[in-house]
Amino acid sequence: MITLSHLLWRTILAGLGFAAAIVTTLVVGTLGLAAIASAHREVVAADPGTMVPVLGMMMRGGLLLPVFSTIVWPAWLVAVVLGEVTGARSLLLHLAVATAIAVVGVMGGAPVLGPARLQLIAAIGLSAGFAHWLVAGRSAGIRRPLPERGAPRPPHDGAREDAISERDPVP
């Protein structure tokens, strides 16, 4: 049975996991874009004629945050809600879903991306999926899990043991 306190706790925990995924997205994305820009600055310094493609790439970089905020993050929110309802606790599932949503969402908003961008988007998806799983995904599920068959039973309470010992005295 779902209690109100458990539902409230799962809502708060899922929200914190989603917030952790968004913060991770921003941190990993910023660090990744800085690394890509740094690598391209070295290329531009060696050959000034490559400045136009680098500027074009940086202009598309400004597209990532709007695409994430309008496509990827809402899709992740739906995935978080579905994960809570179904009780999906698998790390691999969280990583795969977050990465797939990130790559497909960004490809829909900016279809022409280089391999460095796709690797960055995949890294963002993997890190965000891991962040959410770490905070809320390991214990996902609105309903509490049922004990598995063959699992040890909880110890009996003392009153029942006293009642049993009174019926069958040991000689």
pLDDT digits (tens, 9 = 90+) for 86-99: 888 888 998 999 99
| CA dihedral (129, 135, 67, 118) positive or negative | negative
Lowest mean pLDDT among 30-34, 35-39, 126-130: 35-39
Percentage with pLDDT > 90 across the chain: 8
What pTM does this model have? 0.66
DSSP letter string, 72-96: IHHHHHHHHHHHHHHT---HHHHHH
Can you tell me the distance from the alpha carbon of 160 to that of 69, in angstroms, rounded to the nearest whole number? 57
Give the largest Cα separation in the chain, rounded.
99
DSSP letter string, 14-38: HHHHHHHHHHHHHHHHHHHHHHHHH
Can you tell me the distance from the alpha carbon of 124 to that of 35, in angstroms, rounded to the nearest whole number? 14
pLDDT digits (tens, 9 = 90+) for 137-148: 888 877 665 556
CA angle 25, 114, 71 (to 5 degrees): 40
